[in-house]
């Protein structure tokens, strides 16, 4: 009979982030020696790198680093299971990655991933090493860095037992804490894709117009009424996908456009990260 207890299994899981059965097997093979079990899991993890690359990392967390009221960084780090997502080792790694990303001048993923976090070791290689220890595929998925007159932020937990899985940054042309907070929560809740109508790409508008025209014709509407109906449907599309066109969640008789006009602020840009979504 192996010389270990349930507490030893828990300790090994907490240390490595590995699954329960893998921990039991490692402790059995190590005859209860925790250090040897950790080493065995690391060796197995290194052998499984190729297999992990094909797996999906759809869990994880979003980390916010708000350096000042005008500067903030949002980072998404993914893993495979919610068990690892709430593991202290993974959370510490995500925060370490976010600190490193916030300190970089580059704003593209490839450049930051290739930057050295340790002498001779890129951020990507560093994360891959942690993947070996934890035993799951880990993915540095994306980040956003905002710097301007005022940057509001918001983090949301979909489960109280898990770290934040959604994060928002919204940049305004001047400081307004209340409006910034309201807009960040609006973006989190209603997921607009663009700031305003003018920010929607022309090809996207053309595609939506084409769908609206086709749908209207198939409904047998009178030819002379089609242009007006199409414009109405296109305006409905803008209302859904643009922040400024959406009804304000706290007072839905107003649009967000009206709210920012009354506050005398301009929305420069925003970003919304939700773990596992595009």
The 10s digit of each residue's pLDDT in 165-205 is 999 999 999 999 999 999 999 999 999 999 999 999 999 99
Look at residue 46 in the predicted model and tell me its pLDDT.
43
Residue with more model confidence, 26 or 65: 65
Mean pLDDT of the chain: 89
Instruction: For residue 52, name the pLDDT band (cuts at 50, 70, 90).
Output: very low
Percent of residues, the chain, with pLDDT higher than 90: 63
Work out the number of other CB atoms within 10 angstroms of the CB of residue 230.
21
> Model's pTM, two decimal places?
0.78
User: Which residues in 148-187 are b (16+ Cβ under 10 Å) and which e?
Assistant: eebbbbbbeeeeeebbbbbbbbbbbeeebeebbebbbbbb
d(CA 111, CA 119): 16
CA-nearest of 92, 79, 77, 84 to 20 is 84
Q: What is the pLDDT of residues 74-129, one digit of tens each?
A: 999 999 888 999 999 999 999 999 999 999 999 999 999 999 999 999 999 999 88
Look at residue 43 in the predicted model and tell me its pLDDT.
65
Range 6-47 has CATH code 1.20.1530.20: no
Look at residue 19 in the predicted model and tell me its pLDDT.
67
At the topology level, CATH places domain 59-195+261-274 in Tetrahydropterin Synthase; Chain A (3.30.479)
d(CA 131, CA 108): 22
Look at residue 148 in the predicted model and tell me its pLDDT.
95
Q: What is the pLDDT of residues 213-241, one digit of tens each?
A: 888 888 888 888 888 998 999 999 999 99
Could you give the dihedral angle defined by the CA atoms of residues 9, 15, 21 and 22, in that order, rounded to the nearest 10 degrees? -130
CA-nearest of 79, 88, 77 to 58 is 79
Domains 6-47 and 59-195+261-274 equal at CATH topology level: no
Work out the number of other CB atoms within 10 angstroms of the CB of residue 4.
21
Spans of all domains in the chain: 6-47, 59-195+261-274
CA-nearest of 171, 146, 163 to 74 is 146
CA-nearest of 24, 53, 60, 52 to 166 is 60
Torsion angles phi and psi, residue 65, rounded to 5? -120, 100
Look at residue 247 in the predicted model and tell me its pLDDT.
96
Instruction: For residue 45, name the pLDDT band (cuts at 50, 70, 90).
Output: low
Is the pLDDT score of 22 beyond 80? no
């Amino acid at each position: 009979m192996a010389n270990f207890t349930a507490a030893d299994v828990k300790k090994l899981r907490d240390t490595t982030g590995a699954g329960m059965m893998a921990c039991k097997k490692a402790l059995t093979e190590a005859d209860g020696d925790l250090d040897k079990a950790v080493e065995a899991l690391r060796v197995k993890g290194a052998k499984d790198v190729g297999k992990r690359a094909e797996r999906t990392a759809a869990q994880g967390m979003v980390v916010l680093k708000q350096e000042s009221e005008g500067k903030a960084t949002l980072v998404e780090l993914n893993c495979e299971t919610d068990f690892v997502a709430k593991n202290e080792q993974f959370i510490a790694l995500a925060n370490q990655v976010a600190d490193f990303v916030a300190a970089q001048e580059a704003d593209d993923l490839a450049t930051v991933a290739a930057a050295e976090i340790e002498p001779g070791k890129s951020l990507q290689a560093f994360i891959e090493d942690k993947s070996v220890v934890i035993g799951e595929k880990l993915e540095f998925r994306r980040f956003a860095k905002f710097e301007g007159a005022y940057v509001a932020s918001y983090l949301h937990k979909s489960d109280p037992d898990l770290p934040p899985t959604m994060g928002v940054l919204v940049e305004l042309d001047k400081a307004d804490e209340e409006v910034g907070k309201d807009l960040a929560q609006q973006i989190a809740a209603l997921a607009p894709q663009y700031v305003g109508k003018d920010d929607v790409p022309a090809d996207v508008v053309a595609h939506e117009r084409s769908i609206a025209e086709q749908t209207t014709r198939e409904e047998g509407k009178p030819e002379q009424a089609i242009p007006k109906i199409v414009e109405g449907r296109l305006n409905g599309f803008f209302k859904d996908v643009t922040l400024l066109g959406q009804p304000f969640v706290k007072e839905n008789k107003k649009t967000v456009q009206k709210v920012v006009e009354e506050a005398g602020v301009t929305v420069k840009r925003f970003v919304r990260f939700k773990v596992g979504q595009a």
